Structure 1
Amino acid sequence: MLPHGKTSVFLKKVIRDYYRLRPLEEPGNLHMREIALESLEDRRYIRHLSFPYMEQLYNFIETTKTPLHLYYSSALYSNPSAEEMEAKGWQGSELIFDIDADKYPGCMQRYLVCSKSGVIINDGESCPSGEEPLEYSPVSWECILEAWSDALKLRDILVQDFGFSKVKIYFSGNRGFHVRVLDEEALPLTREQRRLIADYVACSNIDVDRIFPSYKDIVVFRRVEYGLRRRVLELAISRKLVKERSVAGLRGLTINKSVLDELIRENCVKVDKVVTMDTSRLSRFVNSLNMKSGLRVVEVEPTVDLRGKGFTDFSPFHGEVVVKPLVNASQILVLDKFIGLRKGEIISLEAPYALYLAVNGLVEVRDSSGVGVKL
């Protein structure tokens, strides 16, 4: 559903005000990247753009199309603006992983919103006024923390097991993380090689008995291990599950086989294999706005403790917004807190929450004069 009226004006203003601050991180070899965006004006995806300089991109944003979402290709091309993929001249692609928080048990919440009727319905039900319901699927910050834990595990695997050194983690601006390998060695990897890497980090089809042979239900480790054996041993040591003893004449660090499956499972990272295999994947600009939420796409250093943070730490907007709810909801999750909505009752909300509800079609903006933007 396209926003209209004051809501559309509000979104256009805050998006353009944000990009006037020139926040984007320029990707390497910008002139070799395809640029794409989804525009606020018509909700169309515009692809096959190319800008040799960031200032030209900013000018396009400010004068031509307002981006709800702004992307660049993970691939490098000799002719990035060509409309046919075969004509682009593929020169290599960064290695990309997606980790979404809604895949974890208990983390998938789904509401069907009838904004015209002003109600929230269950799956299988129809809107009273006959309109197509909007899907509203928030995730909790606790689920984001689970995804963060997996992103850190993935980074460790890529650095320690594969030897990559330029591995970055980015909050996607909505419900998960992107992990990017920027090493030049990753650029020429084929789809099949990327699939094998995705299988490795997910522990797909591993032969547990071959990798972890046991004797009388005891698994023996050397003091220095590599790959999955290293990660399992380190986790076992941290949980005080390791004993030093001799087994069949071999002295080493040991664990009981009964705990092995759990240790393996906690050292594997389920990633979207389709994303990782895609050698022409579009990825969000770092520091761009993800207008599914109104939050920023931000690099997160692995040393950061996200337990003390929340969604609003990734919002560049501050101040209050006056809105009119379009639905009745006694308590609905909005970013990191529950908010009650009564259809038609004018309320004032902090900018991050108002923006989140507006882009998801649950409120109509009435007054946004108090909103500011910061980096």
Structure 2
Amino acid sequence: MGGGMVGVVGDVVVAGSGLPDAGLVRKWLDEAADAPADLPDEGYIALLGADGPELEELCRAADRLRRQAVGDVLTYAVNRNLDTAAVAGTGAPARARLTALVAEARELGATEICMQGPLPADTDDDYLALIETIAAAGPIHLHAFRVPELLDGAARRNLPLPDFLAAARAAGLGSVPGTAARILDDEVRARMLGGPDLPVRRWTEVIEAAHRAGLFSTSTMVYGHIETPAQQLAHLRLIAEIQDRTGGFHEFIAMPFTPGPVSPGVGALPGPTWRQTRAVHAVARLLLHGRIANIQAAWPKFGFDAALSLLRGGANDLGGLLLDGALAPDSFAEAGITLTTREVERAAHTLGRTVRQRTTGYADV
């Protein structure tokens, strides 16, 4: 459960605390100094259980790799999030409202609209039509539609998925969120959902099809619920394998599980510990080194001060400012949670880094 380990995994001898022996962690820290992305499974599993001085050393190692990969730069994007259902509607007023929201975001300096969530089942709206409306109100980068929404869009148009993805890119879609990945383990996904979930194989096929269509994406992991360290590792390894095949991931985001309603067969879950959060971010930096250069500290999930700590332990990007605007500021789930450029600049000064606004694809603005 969460960050604990039970029994023996490879040569990982588990102590009574549920964490690996400190000497074993130090052994794998030494190995990681020369081959951070090439440890065997037991090495990464031990590092995911790092605590105390060994956790501090793991985070320092991850920070050194961050500097090697991207330098002493703190990046951020200026974006606005929209929930698909909140802006859907085929009538002229609904389309005018969406156009106005995009125009306002541009006026406030946004370079990205991020839109997620499914269309309501009973709507006569269409994903491609929404893409076209936003593109016409641009220019602005549209980062939109998770794997289930891409499948829904293809089904609504009665199109093969590759044809739908090509049409979406032609209409103005620039990239897709690699969310809805949760933990890429079929048993975990079914238990968390309380029933059948989109199979890992299918999720992988869709995200790779998006990459082949010229749509890059984020990669994510929701951790700190019922998964084991071995399942966290398998998730990271699958992300790395996809990247080796497609090169389509431009960043990795570890997102903590947020306790909510009790799921059948799971019970109440507290979410990850801070120790686990730091270890997950640091191990992601090690394992993905040479594959995915950008590790995001998802400040809306952790809080701003905690995100700064993660930026000292392997992360290099702060994510988006999440502009609200005056028009329909409640049109997305994180409404009311925003950053200012001044806050980002203060963070960069605290970290001793240069601040740089980036595009969705990490180019300079």
Which structure shows the bigger proportion of residues in strand conformation? 1
TM-score, scaled to structure 2: 0.23
Q: Which has the higher contact order (CA 8 A, sep 6+)?
A: 2
Structure with higher helix content: 2
Report the TM-score when normalising by structure 1.
0.23
Larger Rg: 1
